Structure 1
Amino acid sequence: MRALKQLVRFGWEQSLSCLFPVVIFASLAITQIIPLPFLPRYDWLLIICVLMQWWMVRSGLETRDELKVITLFHIIGLALELFKVQMGSWSYPEEGYSKIFGVPLYSGFMYASVASYLCQAWRRLKVELVKWPPFFVVVPLAAAIYLNFFLHHFWIDVRFWLSGLVMIVFWKSWVIYEVNGIRYRMPLALSFVLIGFFIWIAENIATFFGAWTYPNQTSAWSLVHVGKVSSWLLLVIVSFLIVATLKLVKGKDSTRVDTGQYFKG
Protein backbone atom coordinates (compact mmCIF):
# COMPACT_ATOMS: atom_id res chain seq x y z
CA MET A 1 0.00 0.00 0.00
CA ARG A 2 2.83 2.36 0.78
CA ALA A 3 4.38 1.73 -2.63
CA LEU A 4 1.00 2.32 -4.27
CA LYS A 5 0.55 5.59 -2.37
CA GLN A 6 4.01 6.71 -3.45
CA LEU A 7 3.22 5.85 -7.05
CA VAL A 8 -0.05 7.82 -6.89
CA ARG A 9 1.74 10.77 -5.31
CA PHE A 10 4.45 10.62 -7.97
CA GLY A 11 1.79 10.57 -10.70
CA TRP A 12 0.05 13.55 -9.09
CA GLU A 13 3.26 15.58 -8.99
CA GLN A 14 3.94 14.68 -12.61
CA SER A 15 0.41 15.74 -13.56
CA LEU A 16 0.87 19.12 -11.90
CA SER A 17 4.16 19.52 -13.75
CA CYS A 18 2.33 18.88 -17.05
CA LEU A 19 -0.09 21.78 -16.57
CA PHE A 20 1.07 23.68 -19.65
CA PRO A 21 0.97 20.62 -21.98
CA VAL A 22 -2.48 19.67 -20.62
CA VAL A 23 -3.81 23.14 -21.46
CA ILE A 24 -2.42 22.81 -24.98
CA PHE A 25 -4.04 19.38 -25.48
CA ALA A 26 -7.34 20.61 -24.06
CA SER A 27 -7.23 23.64 -26.37
CA LEU A 28 -6.52 21.42 -29.38
CA ALA A 29 -9.48 19.20 -28.53
CA ILE A 30 -11.91 22.02 -27.74
CA THR A 31 -11.06 24.12 -30.82
CA GLN A 32 -11.45 21.06 -33.04
CA ILE A 33 -14.85 20.15 -31.62
CA ILE A 34 -16.18 23.68 -31.11
CA PRO A 35 -15.15 26.19 -33.81
CA LEU A 36 -14.39 29.56 -32.23
CA PRO A 37 -15.59 32.76 -33.95
CA PHE A 38 -13.73 35.69 -35.49
CA LEU A 39 -10.31 34.05 -35.87
CA PRO A 40 -8.92 30.83 -37.40
CA ARG A 41 -8.17 27.98 -35.03
CA TYR A 42 -4.39 28.37 -35.13
CA ASP A 43 -4.70 32.01 -34.04
CA TRP A 44 -6.93 31.09 -31.10
CA LEU A 45 -4.40 28.47 -30.07
CA LEU A 46 -1.65 31.10 -30.13
CA ILE A 47 -3.72 33.45 -27.97
CA ILE A 48 -4.46 30.66 -25.48
CA CYS A 49 -0.78 29.68 -25.26
CA VAL A 50 0.36 33.29 -24.75
CA LEU A 51 -2.25 33.84 -22.02
CA MET A 52 -1.29 30.55 -20.36
CA GLN A 53 2.39 31.49 -20.40
CA TRP A 54 1.57 34.90 -18.92
CA TRP A 55 -0.51 33.29 -16.17
CA MET A 56 2.22 30.75 -15.34
CA VAL A 57 4.69 33.57 -14.65
CA ARG A 58 2.14 35.86 -13.02
CA SER A 59 0.99 33.14 -10.61
CA GLY A 60 4.55 32.23 -9.63
CA LEU A 61 4.42 28.74 -11.14
CA GLU A 62 7.34 29.76 -13.32
CA THR A 63 10.14 32.17 -12.51
CA ARG A 64 11.43 34.80 -14.91
CA ASP A 65 14.66 32.83 -15.32
CA GLU A 66 12.66 29.74 -16.22
CA LEU A 67 10.69 31.85 -18.69
CA LYS A 68 13.97 32.75 -20.41
CA VAL A 69 14.82 29.05 -20.74
CA ILE A 70 11.34 28.22 -22.01
CA THR A 71 11.52 31.08 -24.53
CA LEU A 72 14.88 29.83 -25.78
CA PHE A 73 13.44 26.36 -26.33
CA HIS A 74 10.42 27.98 -28.03
CA ILE A 75 12.81 29.62 -30.53
CA ILE A 76 14.76 26.38 -31.02
CA GLY A 77 11.53 24.48 -31.66
CA LEU A 78 10.14 27.11 -34.00
CA ALA A 79 13.33 27.10 -36.07
CA LEU A 80 13.06 23.33 -36.36
CA GLU A 81 9.40 23.62 -37.36
CA LEU A 82 10.15 26.14 -40.11
CA PHE A 83 12.77 23.85 -41.61
CA LYS A 84 10.83 20.60 -41.27
CA VAL A 85 7.65 22.00 -42.80
CA GLN A 86 9.62 23.33 -45.78
CA MET A 87 11.17 19.87 -46.18
CA GLY A 88 7.74 18.22 -46.15
CA SER A 89 8.24 16.23 -42.93
CA TRP A 90 4.82 17.40 -41.70
CA SER A 91 2.38 20.22 -42.36
CA TYR A 92 -0.18 22.56 -40.84
CA PRO A 93 -3.01 22.44 -43.37
CA GLU A 94 -5.40 24.90 -41.73
CA GLU A 95 -5.51 28.65 -42.35
CA GLY A 96 -4.20 31.19 -39.88
CA TYR A 97 -3.07 34.82 -39.72
CA SER A 98 -0.20 33.86 -37.41
CA LYS A 99 1.43 31.43 -39.86
CA ILE A 100 4.95 32.14 -41.09
CA PHE A 101 6.15 30.08 -44.06
CA GLY A 102 3.41 27.57 -43.37
CA VAL A 103 4.14 27.29 -39.61
CA PRO A 104 1.69 28.68 -37.03
CA LEU A 105 3.45 30.49 -34.20
CA TYR A 106 1.63 28.45 -31.57
CA SER A 107 3.72 25.43 -32.58
CA GLY A 108 6.72 26.81 -30.71
CA PHE A 109 4.74 26.57 -27.48
CA MET A 110 4.46 22.81 -27.91
CA TYR A 111 8.24 22.60 -27.64
CA ALA A 112 8.27 25.21 -24.86
CA SER A 113 5.79 23.07 -22.90
CA VAL A 114 8.45 20.33 -22.71
CA ALA A 115 10.88 22.77 -21.08
CA SER A 116 8.04 23.98 -18.85
CA TYR A 117 7.41 20.41 -17.71
CA LEU A 118 11.10 19.90 -16.92
CA CYS A 119 11.27 23.11 -14.88
CA GLN A 120 8.10 22.24 -12.97
CA ALA A 121 9.08 18.62 -12.30
CA TRP A 122 12.59 19.68 -11.29
CA ARG A 123 11.19 21.92 -8.58
CA ARG A 124 8.31 19.72 -7.39
CA LEU A 125 10.41 16.55 -7.15
CA LYS A 126 13.49 18.36 -5.81
CA VAL A 127 15.64 16.88 -8.53
CA GLU A 128 19.38 16.43 -8.02
CA LEU A 129 21.88 15.17 -10.58
CA VAL A 130 24.80 12.92 -9.72
CA LYS A 131 27.83 12.50 -11.99
CA TRP A 132 26.56 14.95 -14.59
CA PRO A 133 29.09 14.79 -17.44
CA PRO A 134 31.33 17.81 -18.09
CA PHE A 135 29.67 20.51 -20.14
CA PHE A 136 32.50 20.43 -22.70
CA VAL A 137 31.19 16.92 -23.51
CA VAL A 138 27.45 17.51 -23.16
CA VAL A 139 27.23 20.79 -25.10
CA PRO A 140 28.83 19.45 -28.34
CA LEU A 141 26.67 16.32 -28.02
CA ALA A 142 23.50 18.41 -27.71
CA ALA A 143 24.61 20.60 -30.64
CA ALA A 144 25.24 17.51 -32.78
CA ILE A 145 21.80 16.14 -31.86
CA TYR A 146 20.08 19.37 -32.87
CA LEU A 147 22.06 19.75 -36.10
CA ASN A 148 21.25 16.17 -37.11
CA PHE A 149 17.55 17.10 -37.27
CA PHE A 150 18.53 19.41 -40.13
CA LEU A 151 21.49 17.68 -41.75
CA HIS A 152 19.99 14.21 -42.13
CA HIS A 153 17.89 15.56 -45.01
CA PHE A 154 21.12 16.15 -46.96
CA TRP A 155 23.44 13.58 -45.38
CA ILE A 156 23.16 10.32 -43.48
CA ASP A 157 20.93 10.11 -40.42
CA VAL A 158 23.12 9.45 -37.40
CA ARG A 159 20.40 9.57 -34.73
CA PHE A 160 20.98 5.98 -33.65
CA TRP A 161 24.71 6.61 -33.33
CA LEU A 162 23.91 9.69 -31.30
CA SER A 163 21.50 7.68 -29.15
CA GLY A 164 24.28 5.19 -28.44
CA LEU A 165 26.64 8.03 -27.63
CA VAL A 166 24.06 9.44 -25.20
CA MET A 167 23.96 6.10 -23.37
CA ILE A 168 27.75 6.09 -23.11
CA VAL A 169 28.09 9.70 -21.97
CA PHE A 170 25.32 9.44 -19.37
CA TRP A 171 25.97 5.81 -18.37
CA LYS A 172 27.12 6.69 -14.86
CA SER A 173 24.75 9.65 -14.38
CA TRP A 174 21.81 9.43 -12.00
CA VAL A 175 18.81 11.59 -11.28
CA ILE A 176 17.68 11.74 -7.66
CA TYR A 177 14.14 12.88 -6.90
CA GLU A 178 11.86 13.11 -3.88
CA VAL A 179 8.31 11.83 -3.46
CA ASN A 180 6.54 12.61 -0.19
CA GLY A 181 9.83 13.01 1.67
CA ILE A 182 11.41 9.80 0.37
CA ARG A 183 14.38 9.99 -2.00
CA TYR A 184 14.66 7.76 -5.07
CA ARG A 185 17.15 7.51 -7.88
CA MET A 186 17.03 6.50 -11.52
CA PRO A 187 19.64 6.21 -14.27
CA LEU A 188 19.55 9.49 -16.17
CA ALA A 189 19.60 7.72 -19.54
CA LEU A 190 16.46 5.78 -18.52
CA SER A 191 14.70 9.03 -17.60
CA PHE A 192 15.48 10.34 -21.11
CA VAL A 193 13.91 7.23 -22.65
CA LEU A 194 10.81 7.47 -20.46
CA ILE A 195 10.29 11.18 -21.16
CA GLY A 196 10.76 10.56 -24.89
CA PHE A 197 8.23 7.72 -24.79
CA PHE A 198 5.58 9.80 -23.05
CA ILE A 199 6.17 12.70 -25.45
CA TRP A 200 5.57 10.22 -28.29
CA ILE A 201 2.23 9.33 -26.66
CA ALA A 202 1.48 13.06 -26.39
CA GLU A 203 2.43 13.45 -30.07
CA ASN A 204 -0.18 10.85 -31.03
CA ILE A 205 -2.81 12.75 -29.05
CA ALA A 206 -1.74 16.05 -30.61
CA THR A 207 -1.88 14.74 -34.20
CA PHE A 208 -5.24 13.11 -33.48
CA PHE A 209 -6.60 16.54 -32.59
CA GLY A 210 -5.02 18.11 -35.65
CA ALA A 211 -2.07 19.95 -34.11
CA TRP A 212 -0.12 19.04 -37.24
CA THR A 213 -0.26 16.33 -39.91
CA TYR A 214 2.32 13.83 -41.07
CA PRO A 215 2.28 12.80 -44.76
CA ASN A 216 0.76 9.39 -43.87
CA GLN A 217 -2.04 11.13 -41.94
CA THR A 218 -3.39 13.35 -44.71
CA SER A 219 -6.28 11.05 -45.63
CA ALA A 220 -6.93 9.58 -42.17
CA TRP A 221 -5.23 9.68 -38.79
CA SER A 222 -2.84 6.85 -38.01
CA LEU A 223 -0.46 6.08 -35.17
CA VAL A 224 2.83 7.98 -35.29
CA HIS A 225 5.68 5.59 -36.04
CA VAL A 226 7.30 4.31 -32.86
CA GLY A 227 10.68 5.26 -34.31
CA LYS A 228 9.80 8.86 -33.42
CA VAL A 229 10.56 7.96 -29.80
CA SER A 230 14.27 8.15 -30.66
CA SER A 231 13.79 11.65 -32.08
CA TRP A 232 12.02 12.84 -28.96
CA LEU A 233 14.63 11.17 -26.74
CA LEU A 234 17.33 13.18 -28.48
CA LEU A 235 15.33 16.41 -28.32
CA VAL A 236 14.83 15.85 -24.57
CA ILE A 237 18.63 15.86 -24.21
CA VAL A 238 18.74 19.36 -25.68
CA SER A 239 15.98 20.70 -23.43
CA PHE A 240 17.41 18.91 -20.39
CA LEU A 241 20.81 20.50 -21.00
CA ILE A 242 19.28 23.97 -21.16
CA VAL A 243 17.28 23.47 -17.96
CA ALA A 244 20.22 21.82 -16.15
CA THR A 245 22.45 24.74 -17.12
CA LEU A 246 19.96 27.17 -15.60
CA LYS A 247 19.79 25.16 -12.38
CA LEU A 248 23.58 24.90 -12.18
CA VAL A 249 24.17 28.59 -12.81
CA LYS A 250 21.40 29.78 -10.48
CA GLY A 251 21.86 27.17 -7.78
CA LYS A 252 23.91 28.74 -4.98
CA ASP A 253 24.31 25.40 -3.28
CA SER A 254 26.31 23.81 -6.10
CA THR A 255 29.12 21.63 -4.86
CA ARG A 256 31.49 18.83 -5.77
CA VAL A 257 31.61 15.45 -4.09
CA ASP A 258 33.83 12.47 -4.65
CA THR A 259 31.13 10.71 -6.71
CA GLY A 260 31.43 13.32 -9.44
CA GLN A 261 29.67 16.54 -10.35
CA TYR A 262 26.55 16.98 -8.29
CA PHE A 263 24.08 19.80 -7.95
CA LYS A 264 20.62 20.43 -6.63
CA GLY A 265 17.57 21.63 -8.51
Structure 2
Amino acid sequence: MGNRLANKVAIVTGGISGIGKAIATDFLAEGATVVITGRREKVGQQVAEELSQQGEIIYLKQDVSREADWEKVVETTLATFGHWDILVNNAGIGGANKLIADTSLAEWQQVMDINLTGNFIGVREALNKMTSGSIINVSSVLGIITPMPGVGSYAASKAGTRLLTKAAAVEAVKTGKPIRVNSVHPGLVSTDIVSDDIKTALQASDDVIPAIGKPADIAKAVTYLASDESAYTTGSEIVLDGGTLAGR
Protein backbone atom coordinates (compact mmCIF):
# COMPACT_ATOMS: atom_id res chain seq x y z
CA MET A 1 0.00 0.00 0.00
CA GLY A 2 1.37 3.38 -1.04
CA ASN A 3 0.18 6.91 -0.40
CA ARG A 4 0.84 8.76 -3.68
CA LEU A 5 -2.90 9.40 -4.05
CA ALA A 6 -3.87 9.66 -0.39
CA ASN A 7 -6.91 11.87 0.28
CA LYS A 8 -7.72 12.10 -3.44
CA VAL A 9 -11.06 11.13 -5.00
CA ALA A 10 -10.99 9.74 -8.52
CA ILE A 11 -13.63 8.99 -11.15
CA VAL A 12 -12.54 6.29 -13.60
CA THR A 13 -14.92 5.79 -16.52
CA GLY A 14 -15.00 2.33 -17.99
CA GLY A 15 -13.45 1.24 -14.71
CA ILE A 16 -15.14 -2.15 -14.59
CA SER A 17 -12.79 -4.04 -16.92
CA GLY A 18 -9.49 -3.96 -18.80
CA ILE A 19 -7.34 -0.86 -18.46
CA GLY A 20 -9.96 0.95 -16.38
CA LYS A 21 -10.09 -1.80 -13.77
CA ALA A 22 -6.28 -1.89 -13.63
CA ILE A 23 -6.22 1.88 -13.09
CA ALA A 24 -8.80 1.64 -10.30
CA THR A 25 -6.79 -1.14 -8.67
CA ASP A 26 -3.56 0.87 -8.77
CA PHE A 27 -5.31 3.99 -7.49
CA LEU A 28 -6.67 2.07 -4.50
CA ALA A 29 -3.21 0.70 -3.80
CA GLU A 30 -1.93 4.28 -3.67
CA GLY A 31 -4.59 5.44 -1.22
CA ALA A 32 -7.22 7.02 -3.47
CA THR A 33 -10.97 6.79 -3.06
CA VAL A 34 -12.33 5.56 -6.39
CA VAL A 35 -15.60 5.86 -8.27
CA ILE A 36 -15.76 3.42 -11.18
CA THR A 37 -18.39 3.76 -13.88
CA GLY A 38 -19.67 1.67 -16.76
CA ARG A 39 -22.84 0.56 -18.50
CA ARG A 40 -22.90 -3.05 -17.25
CA GLU A 41 -24.44 -2.68 -13.82
CA LYS A 42 -24.05 -6.28 -12.63
CA VAL A 43 -20.38 -6.38 -13.63
CA GLY A 44 -19.76 -2.97 -12.08
CA GLN A 45 -21.21 -3.97 -8.72
CA GLN A 46 -19.17 -7.18 -8.75
CA VAL A 47 -15.93 -5.34 -9.50
CA ALA A 48 -16.59 -2.74 -6.80
CA GLU A 49 -17.23 -5.50 -4.28
CA GLU A 50 -14.09 -7.34 -5.37
CA LEU A 51 -11.87 -4.27 -5.11
CA SER A 52 -13.44 -3.00 -1.88
CA GLN A 53 -11.02 -5.20 0.04
CA GLN A 54 -8.24 -2.88 -1.16
CA GLY A 55 -9.85 0.47 -0.31
CA GLU A 56 -12.89 2.72 -0.61
CA ILE A 57 -14.62 2.26 -3.95
CA ILE A 58 -18.14 2.60 -5.36
CA TYR A 59 -19.70 1.82 -8.72
CA LEU A 60 -22.08 4.14 -10.57
CA LYS A 61 -23.86 3.22 -13.78
CA GLN A 62 -22.96 5.57 -16.63
CA ASP A 63 -23.21 5.97 -20.37
CA VAL A 64 -20.48 8.53 -20.99
CA SER A 65 -22.20 9.85 -24.12
CA ARG A 66 -25.11 11.16 -22.01
CA GLU A 67 -24.85 14.53 -20.27
CA ALA A 68 -27.41 13.52 -17.65
CA ASP A 69 -25.32 10.50 -16.66
CA TRP A 70 -22.24 12.69 -16.25
CA GLU A 71 -24.14 15.15 -14.09
CA LYS A 72 -25.42 12.34 -11.88
CA VAL A 73 -21.97 10.75 -11.48
CA VAL A 74 -20.30 14.04 -10.59
CA GLU A 75 -23.08 15.13 -8.22
CA THR A 76 -23.06 11.76 -6.45
CA THR A 77 -19.28 11.81 -6.13
CA LEU A 78 -19.25 15.30 -4.62
CA ALA A 79 -22.20 14.58 -2.33
CA THR A 80 -20.64 11.33 -1.09
CA PHE A 81 -16.99 12.33 -0.71
CA GLY A 82 -17.03 16.14 -0.60
CA HIS A 83 -14.45 16.74 -3.32
CA TRP A 84 -13.20 15.46 -6.67
CA ASP A 85 -9.54 15.48 -7.64
CA ILE A 86 -8.90 13.06 -10.51
CA LEU A 87 -10.76 12.19 -13.70
CA VAL A 88 -9.70 9.32 -15.94
CA ASN A 89 -11.60 9.32 -19.21
CA ASN A 90 -11.05 5.68 -20.07
CA ALA A 91 -14.39 4.42 -21.39
CA GLY A 92 -14.28 3.54 -25.06
CA ILE A 93 -15.28 1.15 -27.82
CA GLY A 94 -13.34 -0.25 -30.73
CA GLY A 95 -15.85 0.39 -33.48
CA ALA A 96 -17.03 -1.77 -36.35
CA ASN A 97 -13.52 -2.58 -37.69
CA LYS A 98 -14.62 -1.62 -41.21
CA LEU A 99 -13.05 0.32 -44.02
CA ILE A 100 -14.19 3.94 -44.08
CA ALA A 101 -15.95 3.28 -47.38
CA ASP A 102 -18.04 0.59 -45.71
CA THR A 103 -18.75 2.38 -42.42
CA SER A 104 -22.30 3.62 -41.87
CA LEU A 105 -23.00 7.00 -40.33
CA ALA A 106 -24.56 5.24 -37.34
CA GLU A 107 -21.41 3.16 -36.79
CA TRP A 108 -19.21 6.25 -37.07
CA GLN A 109 -21.42 8.26 -34.73
CA GLN A 110 -21.47 5.57 -32.04
CA VAL A 111 -17.68 5.61 -31.84
CA MET A 112 -17.55 9.41 -31.74
CA ASP A 113 -20.30 9.64 -29.12
CA ILE A 114 -18.51 7.34 -26.68
CA ASN A 115 -14.82 7.84 -27.44
CA LEU A 116 -14.73 11.57 -28.12
CA THR A 117 -17.95 13.29 -27.06
CA GLY A 118 -17.91 11.34 -23.79
CA ASN A 119 -14.41 12.61 -23.12
CA PHE A 120 -15.43 16.17 -23.96
CA ILE A 121 -18.32 16.10 -21.49
CA GLY A 122 -16.07 14.65 -18.81
CA VAL A 123 -13.36 17.24 -19.37
CA ARG A 124 -15.94 20.03 -19.29
CA GLU A 125 -17.41 18.71 -16.04
CA ALA A 126 -13.99 18.46 -14.44
CA LEU A 127 -12.92 21.95 -15.50
CA ASN A 128 -16.12 23.33 -13.99
CA LYS A 129 -16.46 21.18 -10.87
CA MET A 130 -12.91 20.37 -9.73
CA THR A 131 -11.19 22.87 -7.45
CA SER A 132 -7.83 21.49 -8.53
CA GLY A 133 -6.54 18.19 -9.78
CA SER A 134 -5.68 16.07 -12.77
CA ILE A 135 -7.52 14.90 -15.88
CA ILE A 136 -6.10 11.92 -17.77
CA ASN A 137 -7.58 11.00 -21.14
CA VAL A 138 -6.91 7.49 -22.44
CA SER A 139 -6.24 7.86 -26.14
CA SER A 140 -4.30 5.34 -28.23
CA VAL A 141 -1.20 4.98 -30.35
CA LEU A 142 -3.77 4.85 -33.15
CA GLY A 143 -4.54 8.47 -32.34
CA ILE A 144 -1.02 9.28 -33.55
CA ILE A 145 -0.54 6.80 -36.39
CA THR A 146 -2.85 4.54 -38.40
CA PRO A 147 -0.78 1.56 -39.53
CA MET A 148 -3.60 -0.46 -41.07
CA PRO A 149 -7.01 -0.13 -42.72
CA GLY A 150 -10.22 -0.73 -40.83
CA VAL A 151 -9.68 1.55 -37.83
CA GLY A 152 -10.69 4.90 -39.33
CA SER A 153 -13.44 5.86 -36.91
CA TYR A 154 -11.53 4.62 -33.87
CA ALA A 155 -8.32 6.40 -34.91
CA ALA A 156 -10.20 9.63 -35.61
CA SER A 157 -11.84 9.53 -32.17
CA LYS A 158 -8.52 8.91 -30.45
CA ALA A 159 -6.75 11.64 -32.43
CA GLY A 160 -9.56 13.97 -31.41
CA THR A 161 -9.01 13.01 -27.79
CA ARG A 162 -5.31 13.79 -28.18
CA LEU A 163 -5.99 17.37 -29.29
CA LEU A 164 -8.92 17.83 -26.92
CA THR A 165 -6.41 17.12 -24.16
CA LYS A 166 -3.98 19.77 -25.34
CA ALA A 167 -6.71 22.36 -25.86
CA ALA A 168 -8.10 21.77 -22.38
CA ALA A 169 -4.62 21.95 -20.83
CA VAL A 170 -3.94 25.31 -22.47
CA GLU A 171 -7.34 26.69 -21.44
CA ALA A 172 -6.82 25.59 -17.84
CA VAL A 173 -3.47 27.38 -17.71
CA LYS A 174 -4.79 30.54 -19.42
CA THR A 175 -7.82 30.76 -17.11
CA GLY A 176 -5.81 30.11 -13.97
CA LYS A 177 -7.39 26.76 -13.08
CA PRO A 178 -4.96 24.49 -11.21
CA ILE A 179 -5.99 21.43 -13.22
CA ARG A 180 -3.55 19.40 -15.30
CA VAL A 181 -4.75 17.65 -18.45
CA ASN A 182 -2.71 14.90 -20.09
CA SER A 183 -3.21 11.87 -22.30
CA VAL A 184 -1.84 8.34 -22.43
CA HIS A 185 -1.52 6.42 -25.68
CA PRO A 186 -1.47 2.65 -25.25
CA GLY A 187 -0.32 0.40 -28.04
CA LEU A 188 -1.51 -3.19 -28.31
CA VAL A 189 -2.87 -4.13 -24.88
CA SER A 190 -4.63 -7.35 -23.99
CA THR A 191 -8.21 -6.15 -23.41
CA ASP A 192 -11.64 -7.02 -24.77
CA ILE A 193 -11.72 -3.88 -26.92
CA VAL A 194 -8.96 -5.26 -29.17
CA SER A 195 -10.40 -7.89 -31.47
CA ASP A 196 -8.47 -11.01 -32.45
CA ASP A 197 -8.37 -9.73 -36.04
CA ILE A 198 -6.71 -6.49 -34.98
CA LYS A 199 -4.23 -8.30 -32.75
CA THR A 200 -3.29 -10.59 -35.65
CA ALA A 201 -2.95 -7.69 -38.09
CA LEU A 202 -0.83 -5.61 -35.72
CA GLN A 203 1.46 -8.47 -34.84
CA ALA A 204 1.94 -9.34 -38.52
CA SER A 205 2.71 -5.72 -39.51
CA ASP A 206 6.28 -4.76 -40.32
CA ASP A 207 5.63 -1.41 -38.65
CA VAL A 208 4.79 -2.78 -35.23
CA ILE A 209 6.93 -4.48 -32.63
CA PRO A 210 4.87 -7.58 -31.77
CA ALA A 211 4.58 -7.14 -28.01
CA ILE A 212 1.22 -7.18 -26.23
CA GLY A 213 1.07 -4.99 -23.15
CA LYS A 214 -0.83 -5.57 -19.93
CA PRO A 215 -3.47 -3.22 -18.48
CA ALA A 216 -1.24 -2.73 -15.44
CA ASP A 217 1.47 -1.29 -17.69
CA ILE A 218 -0.88 1.56 -18.60
CA ALA A 219 -2.19 1.99 -15.06
CA LYS A 220 1.25 2.85 -13.68
CA ALA A 221 1.61 5.79 -16.06
CA VAL A 222 -1.89 7.01 -15.25
CA THR A 223 -1.09 6.90 -11.53
CA TYR A 224 1.94 9.10 -12.14
CA LEU A 225 -0.20 11.65 -14.02
CA ALA A 226 -2.83 11.54 -11.26
CA SER A 227 -0.28 12.12 -8.51
CA ASP A 228 1.43 15.30 -7.38
CA GLU A 229 4.63 13.93 -8.90
CA SER A 230 3.37 15.23 -12.26
CA ALA A 231 2.80 18.78 -10.98
CA TYR A 232 4.78 20.26 -13.90
CA THR A 233 3.20 18.04 -16.55
CA THR A 234 0.21 19.25 -18.53
CA GLY A 235 -0.79 19.12 -22.18
CA SER A 236 1.55 16.17 -22.58
CA GLU A 237 1.14 12.68 -23.96
CA ILE A 238 2.73 9.48 -22.74
CA VAL A 239 3.08 6.73 -25.34
CA LEU A 240 3.02 3.20 -23.90
CA ASP A 241 3.34 0.97 -26.93
CA GLY A 242 6.20 -1.49 -26.48
CA GLY A 243 8.23 0.40 -29.09
CA THR A 244 5.61 0.64 -31.84
CA LEU A 245 6.38 4.23 -32.80
CA ALA A 246 10.12 3.81 -32.32
CA GLY A 247 10.03 0.80 -34.62
CA ARG A 248 8.47 2.61 -37.57
Question: TM-score normalized by structure 2?
Answer: 0.29
More strand by share: 2
Rg comparison, structure with higher value: 1
Question: TM-score normalized by structure 1?
Answer: 0.28
